[in-house]
A and B are shown apart, each in its own frame.
Chain A
Amino acid sequence: MFFNGKNRSRALVVVGALMVILFVCGVSYASSGGEEAGHDSTVVSGHDSAAHDSMAHDSAAVSGSEAQGEHGGGHGAHDSGKKMEDLIYRAVNFSLLVIILFVVVKKTPIKDFFANRIEEIKANFEDLNKEKKLAEKRYQELEQKLKDFEASRQEIIDQYKAEGETEKDKIIAEAEQRATQILAQAELTIQREIQAAGDMLKQEVLDNAAMKAQEILTKEMKESDQDHLVDEFIKSVEKLH
């Protein structure tokens, strides 16, 4: 994430060098410590197999000195020589470490790596700033658009509300007019139906009355009535002249 391809290889070189240094240090330390430990164990086993720590060594050395006399003074000179050797060895080891570190640092472009990394971070930071500005600008634009949209939305809503109100009034007016027409039509239909029913009833009454009159006249008509009717008819014809 933090290293690109080139930086990553440089970092791997640095890490490898550090691992080599650590390995060398560990080996040198192990060799120096091992020799010292081996010396101690030799001393312990040579004088008292039951003792196994420094305190035991010291007590053994004390008891040994009592037993062996002069042999104790020669052993102290031998230790100082070993220490000197160890010191030299450590100095050489340290020198090697410094040299290796110097060579590694010299050979590897770690300085450039960090410099490039700084530049890269700066560039990223600037890019991010630019992007942030752009994003802010975009945000402001969108916010403005949102405000405009909100205003437009409200305007559209108001317009549709107004149109809806107009349409509602129109529909109501039409419905009222239609209702009035339906009522008038219904009233007219009722009147017609009443009239038709009345006419039908009247017709029925008249038909029945005429039929009854015909029946009565047929039964009651006499020859004298016929003669009278003929006489009246002839007189009326005579009057026509």
Chain B
Amino acid sequence: MINSKIPRRYARALMSLGQEEGQYIEYGQNLQEFTDFCSANDEFFRVVSNQVFAIDDRKEIIERILEKSSFSDMVKNFLRLLLDKKRIGAIKEITDHYSKLTDEISNITRAQVITAQPLKGDAVDRLVLALKALTSKEVEIEVSEDASIMGGLIVKAGDLVLDGSVKTQIEGLRESLKRGEYN
């Protein structure tokens, strides 16, 4: 288990360099691509992050990948540094934190919307506008369906959670009855 401070420190360092060069968004995209590649190629990720294998062998593998990639030199060097410092296994956490830093700098908040049934009509646009007005940030939403909430929807935007599901309302009603609020 890698301490969360370490990915945050590496992410901030790269973000600092990206901001200096004005390419932090591109760096973020490169990191996300590499992370997606690692997720898609689990065997590759296990080899490069496993210190049982020789560092030279792992470097050679990474170099082969980086040669074929269109990543910026800064990101390539960053990945090499992670390999040398034995932190390549934390690439996912670093990427997530970098993405949060990017959103903060770009004044963007990402909202996860859970709905019992697909949203119809202009519901998504209205929801985005409402959240934008609420957070005073640009909002990018990711909608997912979960029938267990029975009805309504749940929005999670950073630390903000708005729960309008029927399941939660029934739970609230039950707790209220349990506390005797309706006696």
Contact = CB atoms under 8 A, between A and B. Distances in A.
B120 interface: yes
Interface of B: 115-117, 119-121, 123, 126-127, 130-131, 133-134, 150-153, 155, 162, 164, 166-167, 170-171, 173-174, 177-178
A116 interface: no
A237 B130 contact: yes
Given A232-B164, A238-B133, 17 more contacts: A206-B174, A206-B177, A206-B178, A207-B174, A210-B174, A213-B173, A214-B167, A217-B166, A218-B150, A223-B117, A225-B151, A229-B166, A230-B127, A233-B152, A237-B130, A237-B155, A241-B130
27 contacts: A203-B178, A206-B177, A210-B170, A210-B173, A217-B166, A217-B170, A221-B150, A223-B120, A226-B115, A227-B121, A230-B152, A230-B153, A231-B123, A232-B164, A233-B153, A233-B162, A233-B164, A234-B126, A234-B127, A237-B127, A237-B130, A237-B131, A237-B134, A237-B155, A237-B162, A238-B133, A241-B130
Given A229-B166, A236-B164, A241 B151 contact: no
A214 B166 CA distance: 9
Nearest to A237: B130
A154 B125 CA distance: 107
A240 B123 CA distance: 17
A223 to B, nearest CB: 7
A229 B152 contact: yes
Interface of A: 202-203, 206-207, 209-210, 213-214, 217-218, 221, 223, 225-227, 229-234, 236-238, 240-241
B116 A226 contact: yes
A152 B173 CA distance: 83
B164 A241 contact: no
Contacts of B115: 226, 230
A221 B131 contact: no
A113 B1 CA distance: 131
A240 B152 contact: no
A97 to B, nearest CB: 143
Given A223-B117, A234-B127, A229 B164 contact: yes
